[in-house]
Amino acid sequence: MASNLIRASSSLVLAVLVALIVQIFYFSPIDPVLLDIKPASSTKDNQLQNIIKLGEGFLNEPEDVCVDKEGTLYTATRDGWIKRCRRNGNWENWKHIDSYTLLGITTAKKGGLIVCDSTKGLLKVTEEDGFTVLVSQVNGSQLRFADDVIEAWDGNIYFSVLSTKFDLDNVYLDVLEARPHGQLVKYNPTSNETVIVLDNVACANGVALSKDEDYLVLCETWKCMRHWLKGANKGTTDIFIENLPGGPDNINLAPDGSFWIALVQLTSERLEFVHKYKITKHLVASFPRLINLVNGAKKKAMVVNVATNGTIIRKFDDGDGKVITFVTSALEFEDHLYLGSLNSNFVGKLPLHSA
Ligand SMILES: *[C@@H]1O[C@H](CO)[C@@H](O)[C@H](O)[C@H]1NC(C)=O
Ligand SMILES: *[C@@H]1O[C@H](CO)[C@@H](O)[C@H](O)[C@H]1NC(C)=O
Ligand SMILES: *[C@@H]1O[C@H](CO)[C@@H](O)[C@H](O)[C@H]1NC(C)=O
């Protein structure tokens, strides 16, 4: 009797195990490769705990920020609003787009903004016309996951596609899979042509132009590439900075010609091992709760200032995640740093002179 029971329960355990393995391997949403994962940064200065919170409660996860010629600050929020803050400090709802996936934004030289929507594509937003879709297809496929954008002197618009495989809701699967599904794309508004400039980029993210617009910096996981637009190296690409202590998100040119890069903490302390084995990747990918455990983005925040020679000059963080986490962009304007975040209801403002 007892032995029958043991036999029955052990076959039950076996069946559950087999089902789990089948579930993990055959229905896994990813086809992973191993990644030389950078451990979560352990040093901290907590300088980002000194921020002022702008528009607190009014801004639902403002991912990116930009400033126009008048000094008006813009951000795009999860409720589909482009919101703006005038110099007098008052926030207002500016334009609405039916989307919760608005990401990188930049000012356009002829007025208005260019906005990345990871669902609809690349959008133009103006006072008069509201929003229009500039690009919705790239090389014959639906443009998904446009992530960050910049307009060059010649009117060409460069934007990143974080992944051609996963969407914003599943971005961590792209990190786990660790295969380069991203792109840098150039859109010429005069000819209405779209060209893939760089392909096979890992988590293609922030794009910024150098002060002289002679090169463009494109962030990808753990590093940033430099793509030359002018001069002897025109058309070539090299490494601008690598081994970053986090996954670089948006990047912005600073007034002195250096760059500010938001670094997302993609790993959690003591859980880095997950990225070392395919089995753990499959396991985590199959269970969303495990993803939340392994992803360190909502536990800390970090930004770095990088000189044109590719060295880190300054680094600020909230290593305890007490005031701000998941900082996705850092923009320097009039001696202050403005911080966007996918886990806050405000834009952070850090005075730089006292930091
Ligand atoms: C564009 O699409 C064609 C046809 O689907 C494909 O062969 C080509 O590799 C694609 N080009 C790039 C750069 O992805
Ligand atoms: C630009 O090209 C896209 C597809 O390539 C097309 O759908 C769209 O109508 C074109 N826009 C203009 C203004 O010609
Ligand atoms: C890089 O540039 C920074 C800032 O201009 C300077 O302080 C640093 O010495 C330079 N480093 C190298 C290796 O050239």
pLDDT, tens digit, for every residue of 302-330? Answer: 999 999 999 999 999 999 999 999 999 99
Q: Is position 282 within any domain?
A: no
| Domain assignment of residue 128, yes or no | yes
- Band the pLDDT of 124: cuts 50, 70, 90: very high
Q: What is the 3-state secondary structure (H, E, C) of 49-62?
A: HHCEEECCCCCCCC
List the strands of the sheet with 247-253, edge to edge: 247-253, 259-264, 301-306, 312-318
- Which residues contact ligand 1 via a Cβ below 6 A? 139-140, 196, 199
For ligand 1, atom 2, the nearest C-alpha belongs to 139
Q: What is the mean pLDDT of residues 291-300?
A: 92
Ligand 1 atom at minimum distance from 139 CA: 1
Ligand 3: nearest atom to the Cα of 308: 2
Classify residue 41 by its DSSP letter: P
Q: What is the position in ligand 1's atom list of the atom closest to the CA of 140? A: 2
> Span 145-169, mean pLDDT?
96
Distance of CA 145 to the CA centre of its chain: 10
Model confidence at 73, pLDDT cuts 50, 70, 90, reads: very high
* Overall average pLDDT of the 198-207 stretch: 96
Note whether residue 169 is domain-resident: yes
Q: Is 150 exposed, middle or buried (0-12, 13-18, 19+ CB in 10 A)?
A: buried
User: Where does residue 334 rank: exposed (0-12), middle (13-18), buried (19+ CB within 10 A)?
Assistant: exposed
Kindly state whether residue 31 falls inside one of the protein's structural domains: no
Confidence of residue 64 (pLDDT cuts 50, 70, 90): very high
Q: What is the CATH number of the domain that holds 341?
A: 2.120.10.30
Q: Would residue 133 count as lying in a domain?
A: yes
Report the domain count for the chain: 1
pLDDT at 19: 76
* Residue 24: pLDDT over 80: no
Confidence of residue 86 (pLDDT cuts 50, 70, 90): very high
* Ligand 1: residue whose CA is nearest its atom 8: 139
Give domain status of residue 22, yes or no. no
Question: Is residue 210 situated within a structural domain?
Answer: yes
Query: What pLDDT score was predicted for residue 259?
Result: 98
In order, the DSSP letters of 75-122 are EE-TTSEEEEE-TTS-EEEEEE-S-S-EEEEEE-TTSSEEEEETTTEE
119 is in which domain, residue-wise?
42-265+300-351
pLDDT of amino acid 41? 67
Q: Name the average pLDDT for the chain.
A: 93
User: Considering the domain boundaries, does residue 192 fall inside one?
Assistant: yes
Confidence of residue 18 (pLDDT cuts 50, 70, 90): confident
State the distance from the centre of ligand 3 to the C-alpha of 36, rounded, in angstroms. Answer: 27
User: Which of 120, 185, 192 maximizes ligand 2 atoms within 8 Å of its Cβ, making it the mutation to test the pocket?
Assistant: 192
Assess whether pLDDT exceeds 70 at residue 50: yes
Report the pLDDT value the prediction gives residue 222, as an integer from 0 to 100: 85
Cα gap 281→273, rounded to integer Å: 10
